[in-house]
Structure 1
């Protein structure tokens, strides 16, 4: 393994360590020492690859969020209608408890972004990309005002995820029914009734 490959491997190990440590310890408790220990490197290596711990955490979280957004394409590709897409998005929420590592990572990142303009801008760009991806798919399925509809749909799903950490949310089936109405889609999961006549 050459030096460049080793360097890329170390960077990836540090980024992966950050994604693990942020939910475990909280954003502000992730230090150079604990990152180095988790990644199996010396503390000096952390600052060789990143200008600061904050920069490392930002890159780790934004990279993880980009992977999540890229996964939206798979969900949409498997859906044959707006109603099916809504059902799939709402069903995905059930995988998270609100206290699981991925939920905690998202909450910690959003809190950190309120104090870090650069991180806020990066997360905003990721959210904009997710809206564009969903908006393009909705437009291809003749959903009115697709960009705004995508923004509302994604905000609703994000809200469900955040609420799971605080209290039991609404019944998933009822939630999906409300969101399908937002898209003008039919009332059931079968896709038998889709866009309302004339819309």
Structure 2
């Protein structure tokens, strides 16, 4: 049985992580301060440092947890795909919810930028992407796609690029893109 104090501590920690996920897209990674985070979460700045060794550690954990959740959702969608073409359609349908300007897209863009300056964050995000790409490549291989790992790498990079382009107002309609990407797995 968990004590009431331990439960409150867990709830505060989760609230701080959720608040970071809100603030990063709103203000940008560098503009999130301990004070602004604590204020939004309804705690004192000392509480932030009680639960996390640093603001950077909190932001990193928040974004990595969020990315893991999104990748798990995409994998769940891929589990229902019966062919490589359906996998492409599923990935693009999932990516369709990301405009490049929505909070999740902005969170990930900010995290990618922060990872260029934070080796630990770069390794964590890179490891997640590599693992997801390998699992997707294995699925493609099971369906007879030639060069499945390389194909998975190109497909996933293309989807990331499409989302980035959409955020710049230069992204194409995903409908015609689906046909192009399906050709990679046929």
Question: Given the two structures, how large is their TM-score scaled by the length of structure 2?
Answer: 0.93
Which deviates the most, 25-34 or 70-79? 70-79
Q: Find out whether 1:104 has 2:109 as its counterpart.
A: no
Structure 1: gaps of 5 or more residues = 185-199
Over aligned residues, Cα RMSD in angstroms?
Answer: 1.3
The Cα shift of 1:92 comes to: 2.3
The Cα shift of 1:117 comes to: 1.0
* 1:151 alignment counterpart: 153
Distance in 1, matches of 2:75 and 2:123, equals 23
* 2:131 alignment counterpart: 129
* 1:48 alignment counterpart: 50
The Cα shift of 1:136 comes to: 2.2
* 1:83 alignment counterpart: 85
* 1:190 alignment counterpart: none
If you compute each CA radius of gyration, which structure gives the higher value, 1 or 2?
A: 1
Does the CA-based 8 Å contact 1:69-1:129 persist in structure 2?
Answer: no
Which deviates the most, 64-73 or 89-98? 89-98
The Cα shift of 1:4 comes to: 2.1
* 1:142 alignment counterpart: 144
The Cα shift of 1:88 comes to: 1.6
Distance in 1, matches of 2:74 and 2:4, equals 35
| Number of matched pairs | 184
Distance in 1, matches of 2:96 and 2:130, equals 24
C-alpha distance after superposition, 1:147-167 (max 9, x if no partner): 211111110100000000112
Runs of 4+ in structure 1 off by over 6 angstroms are none
* 2:7 alignment counterpart: 5
Does the CA-based 8 Å contact 2:88-2:181 persist in structure 1?
Answer: yes
The Cα shift of 1:168 comes to: 3.2
Structure 2: gaps of 5 or more residues = none
3-state secondary structure, aligned to 1:11:
helix
Question: Given the two structures, how large is their TM-score scaled by the length of structure 1?
Answer: 0.88
The Cα shift of 1:70 comes to: 0.9
